[in-house]
Amino acid sequence: MVYKFEAVPWGLKTVWYFQELKDSVPQILTIVNKKKFDAIIMPIFPANIEREGNINDFIKHSYLKSELEVKSDDIQKLHFLISNLSLSDENKEVRKRNREILKQEIQFAAYLGVPSIILSSNSDPIKLAKFIRKMSIKYFIDLNTFVLDVDITKDWIKYNQIRQELQFNIPILLRLKKEMTTKNEQRKWLSENIRFVHLNQDLFSMNDQGAPKLEDAQNQFLTSYFQFENYISIAAKSPQIDLADHRQYLIHLFKNQQPLSEQANLASEFFDELQIPLQPYKDNLNSGTYEVFEQDKIKYDLYEDACRRYLKNVKKAEINILMAGAGRGGILERVIFSAQGAKCKTKIVALEKNPYAYMTLVFQKKRQKQWKDVEIVLGDLKSWQTELKFDLIVSELLGSFGDNELSPECLMWAQRFLQPDAVSIPCDSVSYCVPVSCPQLHAKVKKSYGYDSSYVVHFQKYYTIHDIQKCMQFKHPDFNNENQLAQEQNLVFECKQDLLIHGMAGYFTSKLYEDIELSTHPNNSTPDMYSWFPIYFPFEKPVNIAKKQKLKFTIKRVNNEEGVWYEWFNSVLSEDDQLLDGSRIHNENGKKQIIEIK
Ligand SMILES: C[S@@+](CC[C@H](N)C(=O)[O-])C[C@H]1O[C@@H](n2cnc3c(N)ncnc32)[C@H](O)[C@@H]1O
């Protein structure tokens, strides 16, 4: 059995959060280690001491006097709380003094090399962001070392301003509250860069046995959080209180998660990984890729059901079937199975343009008794010549966005060898789009192929509340040439809360035959099907949208003799449709990404 927490293989990490220290840091580390906590969060300087700001004053009162007080490995267990002083105090002198004190603490933390420097977010967001940037540059502190202390119920807008000013999704210590915010707000926070989820002791109540427990609202939030992150900090009401039972409760909650299905576990290694969409027309897929496809049993079962249903319904004595793009024979085998039980006589031709997959098909034909009557052909739907006319064409040329592996083009080429009443499995593909907030993924795009490329992504840390909308549709066969191979779609999404949008997620459905359908659409996705992850069209500049404003997404499918590509851009509209802002056109003229037709 595979458990969800194995997606976070290193297990739950618990951090003891001290607001003040009553013992020395080495003594505290000994206690905390004994109680199996992984780290501590501690202030550098006692809150109740009058500050002078000079180094002697600092030496006298700071909780840790030198790195030599603790073992060097233990420094990595210390996350420092910087004093809660405002950078935007009305009094200029106070402001200046606060700045100096904060600077001193940050420099000391940087000197020690602690993993986190936790700042309160009580200052003006822009001033705070500028201060952090300055500290980072001046003292060579990785921006990722700074952590912002935020309240789940009220600080998102502030946090959003800070990270936009910094152009960096600075990590957060997210404080849960007794009264949690709406589920949508919670999901929005879960897409952010959470370093610690923080619980104050007063969030716990006692069960009948006198052991601590959390309420459902906090439990549910933590269960979602555990899917991809694992740091929890807990603060006791006073330094004397033992938090071992609270830790035990969290460990229990962590381990009590629903098991993942085998398939979901296979897919989990792709969580939030950016992949360039495959181009099976231009490139020859390798055997490993075919093998991965072939593990997706549900897809093949559905194809077999569709073929069986067609052969049951068809009123002809003889049926010619074309398996278009047979690969190594995954679907072909199911076509053969379904033909075996059919009342009518069948002739099956398997066409494949990849010469090495063709070799496997030839090998299989020799080896498998049921394949003996199948005609295997090496050829491209675009150029293949045949005298035969087919009653049924079966293909699987679908990409994450439905049409993005050229299924409309390939199936259009195939029409010249179809009977006028021919049926195609699948008979259509429909794509869908929805805006997504995915700050961390967006940051990865920059280091990958940039913002003019689409990506295949198994989204994990993302957020959306918009209703997904239909985008492009292609029907097969299309004897009246109604499919628009080049087209433009304009989708308008009304925003129900303040958001930062990082691009669009794309999905598809494809009807195989009658009501048999393949779908990645989030509202009705085919259960346990893992052949396709969604597609992601990033926006270079994240789009700030206030509640009730609208995001208009324009996407064009463009083609020429070289291939097909998508161009996309966004516009921000006011409630009454006035244009407020807009992006550049991404992948204009296919400058970065073309789905090539040779
Ligand atoms: C997604 S794979 C599906 C493979 C196989 N049907 C299966 O069930 O695993 C698509 C296959 O179609 C082939 N293909 C793509 N375009 C083609 C074309 N125009 N003519 C012939 N084969 C094509 C590719 O080489 C690839 O083997």
pLDDT digit string (tens) for 79-137? 999 999 999 889 999 999 999 999 999 999 999 999 999 999 999 999 999 999 999 99
Separation of CA 413 and ligand 1 centre (Å): 14
| 219 assigned to some structural domain | yes
347 and 212 in a common domain: no
Atom of ligand 1 nearest to the CA of 325: 12
Distance CA 98, CA 120 (A): 13
Average pLDDT score over the chain: 94
| 101 assigned to some structural domain | yes
Number of structural domains in the chain: 3
Q: At 455, which helix (H) or strand (E)?
A: strand 455-456
Task: Single out the residue of 110, 94, 91, 96 nearest to residue 44, CA to CA.
Answer: 110
- CB under 6 Å to ligand 1: residues? 280-281, 285, 290, 293-294, 325-327, 330-331, 351-354, 357, 380-382, 396-397, 410
Atom of ligand 1 nearest to the CA of 382: 19
**Residue 42 reports pLDDT greater than 70:** yes
Per-residue model confidence (pLDDT) at position 65: 87
Query: Measured in Å, how far apart are the chain's first and last C-alpha atoms?
Result: 46
**Residues facing 500 on adjacent strands:** 544
Report how far Cα 545 is from the mean position of its chain's Cα atoms: 20
| Ligand 1 pocket mutation, candidates 353, 405, 512, criterion most atoms within 8 A of CB | 353
List the 345-352 sheet strands across, edge first.
375-378, 345-352, 318-324, 390-395, 418-425
Per-residue model confidence (pLDDT) at position 230: 86
| Residue nearest atom 11 in ligand 1 by C-alpha distance | 325
252 and 165 in a common domain: yes
Separation of CA 385 and ligand 1 centre (Å): 17
| 528 assigned to some structural domain | yes
Task: Single out the residue of 353, 411, 400, 425 nearest to residue 519, CA to CA.
Answer: 400
Q: Who's near 43: CB < 8 A, 6+ residues apart?
A: 18, 19, 20, 21, 63, 80, 81, 83
Distance CA 321, CA 11 (A): 52
At 463, list the tokens. 């957020």
Q: At 292, which helix (H) or strand (E)?
A: helix 287-294
166 and 38 in a common domain: yes
| Residue nearest atom 14 in ligand 1 by C-alpha distance | 325
Strands 563-573 and 550-560: antiparallel
pLDDT band for position 5 (50/70/90)? very low
Atom of ligand 1 nearest to the CA of 409: 19
What are the φ and ψ backbone dihedral angles of 278, each rounded to 5 degrees? -65, 155
Task: Give a three-class secondary structure readout of 325-385.
Answer: CCCCCHHHHHHHHHHHCCCCEEEEEEEECCHHHHHHHHHHHHHCHHHCCCEEEECCCCCCC
550 and 471 in a common domain: yes
118 and 37 in a common domain: yes
- Angle at alpha carbon of residue 314, lines to 310 and 318, rounded to 5°: 110
SS3 269: coil
Averaged pLDDT, 8-22: 83
Atom of ligand 1 nearest to the CA of 326: 6
| 191 assigned to some structural domain | yes
Distance CA 539, CA 267 (A): 26
Amino acid at 349: V
Q: What is the CA radius of gyration of the chain?
A: 30
439 and 391 in a common domain: no
Report how far Cα 102 is from the mean position of its chain's Cα atoms: 36
Which residue, 214, 245, 260, sits at the end of a domain? 260
Separation of CA 582 and ligand 1 centre (Å): 39
So what's the ipTM on this one? 0.99
Specify whether the CB–CB gap between 392 and 310 falls below 8 A: yes
| Residue nearest atom 5 in ligand 1 by C-alpha distance | 327
What is the extent of the structural domain holding 311? 287-396
Specify whether the CB–CB gap between 87 and 124 falls below 8 A: yes
**Residues facing 461 on adjacent strands:** none
pLDDT band for position 598 (50/70/90)? confident
Torsion of CA 494, 496, 500, 501, to 10 degrees: -40
| 419 assigned to some structural domain | no
| Residue nearest atom 22 in ligand 1 by C-alpha distance | 325
Q: Who's near 21: CB < 8 A, 6+ residues apart?
A: 28, 42, 43, 46, 63, 239
Per-residue model confidence (pLDDT) at position 539: 98
| 402 assigned to some structural domain | no
Report how far Cα 555 is from the mean position of its chain's Cα atoms: 21
250 and 307 in a common domain: no
492 and 578 in a common domain: yes
180 and 254 in a common domain: yes
Which residues in 51-61 are b (16+ Cβ under 10 Å) and which e?
A: beeeeebbeeb
- State pLDDT tens for residues 239-289: 889 999 999 999 999 988 876 677 667 777 788 999 999 999 999 999 999
| 369 assigned to some structural domain | yes
Q: Who's near 478: CB < 8 A, 6+ residues apart?
A: 408, 411, 412, 415
Separation of CA 352 and ligand 1 centre (Å): 6
Q: At 293, which helix (H) or strand (E)?
A: helix 287-294
Atom of ligand 1 nearest to the CA of 384: 20
Per-residue model confidence (pLDDT) at position 4: 39
Look up the CATH number of the domain holding residue 545: 2.70.160.11
Separation of CA 329 and ligand 1 centre (Å): 10
Separation of CA 354 and ligand 1 centre (Å): 8
- State pLDDT tens for residues 60-72: 889 998 889 898 8
Separation of CA 306 and ligand 1 centre (Å): 18
| Residue nearest atom 27 in ligand 1 by C-alpha distance | 327
Averaged pLDDT, 23-39: 93
Region of 334 please: left (phi>0), alpha (psi -120 to 50) or beta.
Answer: alpha
| Residue nearest atom 4 in ligand 1 by C-alpha distance | 327
298 and 183 in a common domain: no
Separation of CA 405 and ligand 1 centre (Å): 10
592 and 453 in a common domain: yes
- Beta carbons within 10 angstroms of residue 49's beta carbon: 11
- State pLDDT tens for residues 295-347: 999 999 999 999 999 999 999 999 999 999 999 999 999 999 999 989 899 99
Which residue, 396, 420, 437, sits at the end of a domain? 396
- Beta carbons within 10 angstroms of residue 209's beta carbon: 6
Per-residue model confidence (pLDDT) at position 10: 55
Q: Who's near 102: CB < 8 A, 6+ residues apart?
A: 82, 83, 85, 87, 119, 131
| 415 assigned to some structural domain | no
- State pLDDT tens for residues 145-203: 999 999 999 999 999 999 999 999 999 999 999 999 999 999 999 999 999 999 999 99
Separation of CA 278 and ligand 1 centre (Å): 12
| Residue nearest atom 2 in ligand 1 by C-alpha distance | 327
SS3 58: helix
304 and 242 in a common domain: no
Nearest-10 crossing angle of helices 330-340, 297-313: 40
Look up the CATH number of the domain holding residue 310: 3.40.50.150
| Ligand 1 pocket mutation, candidates 284, 354, 385, 411, criterion most atoms within 8 A of CB | 354
Look up the CATH number of the domain holding residue 9: 3.20.20.150
Atom of ligand 1 nearest to the CA of 293: 9
| Residue nearest atom 16 in ligand 1 by C-alpha distance | 281
- State pLDDT tens for residues 353-402: 999 999 999 999 999 999 999 999 999 999 999 999 999 999 999 999 99
- State pLDDT tens for residues 211-236: 999 999 999 999 999 887 889 999 99
Atom of ligand 1 nearest to the CA of 395: 6
